[in-house]
Structures are given as structure tokens and as C-alpha cells.
């Protein structure tokens, strides 16, 4: 073979070898970026609406790409099963009670599946598990909600317009307050009275607070009355004695009442003297007779002293009495 042709063959072989190496490196690089050659498991979720989701779209977890969508199939009336391929490196963070929802890669980017991690107490996902799909709020639903809000806002605006018109015409309480100066003055006066009443109530509350603080002062009468058992027992004994005194007074009053009743009756000597004039007259006559008898007895005794038979006896008696009196003086 001609050396020139050999050289061309060698150059072509080198270029083919370099191209093959570049192709293999490119395939490996792209496969590594898409995690094509990584070990993975398949999990799925069932949606009512996938909102334009396609096979090959990415699956994200906590902002990190963890897999791709491997298939999208109908599984029932208005239900779509989305099968996802998840790399093993992320499995330890995804739990069986995790939820999935459809999101967007950026503001107007491709649709993606977003996985929420779930609670750490639940076991991690396994191959073939079905995760709970969260309901997606579609654009139509948002437009319907916005339309309902617009209608409510229009109704509120219309009502507020009518209300403001009635207020400006002086109708209703608010309108009357705005249009009637007399009523406004009365309302201002009522508010002033309410303020004064509130201040008085606050002052009273402050005074009650001060009074309660005085009652709670250590060593005061109220404190001793509430906390000192000895003082309480003394007060209790005093109340008991006072109760006994009241009972004795009641008994004394009853006795006086009974005595008064007896004095007003005629079945006893005092009652007869107080209420029976005839008996009183007889008693008065008896007393007069006793007085006259005592006078006569005194006269008889005086006469007996002058009798010569008894005169010596009375002189001795008088002499002895005089000596006893002198001894007493000494």
C-alpha cells in the first residue's frame, strides 16, 4: 500500500476513534445528568387532572431533581395514573405518607411533579408504592373564584353606594347624626356623661383596691381576724358571752313582765294594795291601829319607868349603858 494512503487511513482512524470517544462521553454525561444510569425505583400517584404533564418531565423533592416521569396512563373515569422513576439516593428522605402535586418549572415552564417529604415517623417509600395526590387548583378554578369575588365586590359596592346616598339624605341613625346638629350635641353630651361615669367607676375600683390592700396589711385587725386563730377565738368567746347576756336580759325582761302582770292582778297582797281600793283602805286602817297601839305602848313603858317597883331596874340599865359608851370612847 502506498505510504500516502496509509497515512490517510491512519488519520481517518484517529478521527473515527476520537468521534467515538466523544460520542460515548456525551452519552455518559447526558445520562448522568438525567440520572439515566442510576439505580431507581418506580412509584406512582393518581390525579384527576394532570394539567398538561408529559412523559419525561422532572420530579422534584425539596428543590432537587430526584427522578423523571416514566409513563402517564388513564386508570379510571377522569383519573390519570402518573408513574415516576425515583433514584435510590433520595429514597431515604421520602416517606410513604408523602404527598405529591403538580407544579411548574419556573413561572411559565414545563409542568413537574413536586413531592412533599411527609413525617419522619412513617417508613420510606418502596418500589410500587402509590403516593397521595393533592388536588390541583387549575386556572379555570382560579378564574371562577375571581369571577365570584368580582360579583361579590360589585354587590358590596352597590350596597355601599345606596347606603352612602341614604346617609347623605339624612336617613337612618347615622344620617340623622350627620344632618341633625341637635342630635349630634345630645350624642356628644351622652358620650361625655359616659366618660364621667367611666372615670368614677375607675376611681371606685381604685378605692376598692386600696381598701383591699389595707385589709391585707400585715398586723392589721382584718389580717388578724382572718389569719390569727387566737384573735378569732377571743372574738368568738366575746360573741358567745354577748349572746348569754342577751339571753339573761330577755329572761329579766320576762320576769319583769310577769311581775308586772302579778302587780296588776288581785290574787296577791301587793296586787290587792295596788288594784283593790277596799283592801287598800283596810290595810291603811290596820296600819293606823298599829301606829296608835305603838304610841300607847310607848306611853305605858314610860309610865312603867316611873313606877317605884321598876325604877331601880331602869336606872341600873341606863348606868350600864353610859359606862359601855365611855369604854368605847377610850
Residue pLDDT, tens place only, 167-220: 666 666 666 666 666 766 777 788 888 888 888 888 888 888 887 777 666 666
Q: Which ranges in 54-112 belong to alpha helices (H)?
A: none
Question: What is the number of residues in the chain?
Answer: 330
Specify the number of domains making up the chain.
2
114: in domain: yes
Check residue 83 and give its pLDDT. Answer: 92
The reply to whether 108 and 51 lie within a common domain is: yes
Reduced to 3 states (helix: H, G, I; strand: E, B; else coil), residue 111 is: strand
Q: Which long-range contacts (CB under 8 A, 24 or more apart) does 117-123 make?
A: 117/61, 117/62, 117/93, 118/94, 119/95, 120/95, 122/95, 122/96, 122/97, 123/95, 123/96
For the chain, residues with pLDDT lower than 70 are: 1-4, 27-38, 106-108, 136-141, 167-181, 183-184, 215-228, 230-232, 262-276, 279-280, 299-314, 327-330
CB contact set of 217 (below 8 Å; sequence gap of 6+):
223
Range of the domain at 197: 162-215
Check residue 167 and give its pLDDT. Answer: 67
The reply to whether 86 and 174 lie within a common domain is: no
Instruction: Please compute Rg for the chain using Cα positions.
Output: 64
Residue at which a domain ends, from 147, 180, 215: 215
Check residue 96 and give its pLDDT. Answer: 87
The reply to whether 120 and 70 lie within a common domain is: yes
> Is there a contact between 134 and 154 (Cβ–Cβ < 8 Å)?
no
Check residue 75 and give its pLDDT. Answer: 84
pTM beyond cutoff 0.85:
no
73: in domain: yes
Check residue 321 and give its pLDDT. Answer: 75
Consecutive H or E run containing 144: helix 139-168
Amino acid at each position: 500500500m502506498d505510504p500516502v494512503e496509509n497515512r490517510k487511513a491512519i488519520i481517518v482512524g484517529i478521527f473515527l476513534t476520537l468521534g467515538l470517544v466523544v460520542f460515548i462521553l456525551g452519552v455518559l454525561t447526558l445520562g448522568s445528568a438525567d440520572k439515566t444510569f442510576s439505580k431507581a425505583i418506580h412509584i406512582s400517584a393518581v390525579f384527576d387532572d394532570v394539567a398538561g404533564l408529559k412523559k419525561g418531565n422532572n420530579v422534584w423533592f425539596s428543590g432537587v431533581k430526584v427522578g423523571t416521569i416514566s409513563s402517564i396512563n388513564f386508570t379510571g373515569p377522569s383519573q390519570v395514573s402518573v408513574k415516576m422513576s425515583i433514584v435510590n439516593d433520595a429514597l431515604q428522605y421520602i416517606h410513604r405518607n408523602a404527598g405529591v402535586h403538580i407544579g411548574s418549572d419556573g413561572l411559565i415552564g414545563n409542568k413537574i411533579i413536586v413531592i412533599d417529604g411527609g413525617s419522619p415517623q412513617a417508613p420510606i417509600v418502596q418500589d410500587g408504592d402509590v403516593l397521595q395526590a393533592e388536588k390541583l387548583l387549575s386556572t379555570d378554578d382560579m378564574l371562577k373564584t375571581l369571577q365570584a369575588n368580582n360579583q361579590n365586590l360589585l354587590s358590596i359596592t352597590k350596597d355601599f353606594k345606596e347606603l352612602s346616598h341614604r346617609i347623605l339624605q339624612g336617613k337612618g341613625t347615622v344620617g340623622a347624626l350627620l344632618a341633625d346638629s341637635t342630635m349630634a350635641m345630645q350624642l356628644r353630651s351622652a358620650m361625655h356623661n359616659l366618660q364621667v361615669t367611666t372615670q368614677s367607676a375607675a376611681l371606685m375600683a381604685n378605692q376598692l383596691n386600696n381598701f383591699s390592700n389595707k385589709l391585707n396589711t400585715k398586723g392589721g385587725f382584718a389580717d388578724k381576724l382572718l389569719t390569727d386563730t387566737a384573735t378569732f377565738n377571743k372574738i368568738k368567746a366575746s360573741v358567745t358571752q354577748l349572746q348569754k347576756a342577751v339571753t339573761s336580759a330577755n329572761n329579766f325582761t320576762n320576769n319583769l313582765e310577769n311581775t308586772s302582770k302579778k302587780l296588776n292582778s288581785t290574787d296577791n297582797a301587793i296586787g290587792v294594795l295596788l288594784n283593790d281600793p277596799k283592801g287598800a283602805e283596810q290595810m291603811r286602817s290596820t296600819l293606823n291601829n298599829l301606829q296608835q297601839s305603838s304610841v300607847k305602848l310607848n306611853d305605858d313603858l314610860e309610865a312603867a319607868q316611873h313606877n317605884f317597883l321598876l325604877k331601880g331596874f331602869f336606872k341600873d340599865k341606863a348606868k350600864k349603858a353610859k359606862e359601855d359608851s365611855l369604854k368605847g370612847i377610850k
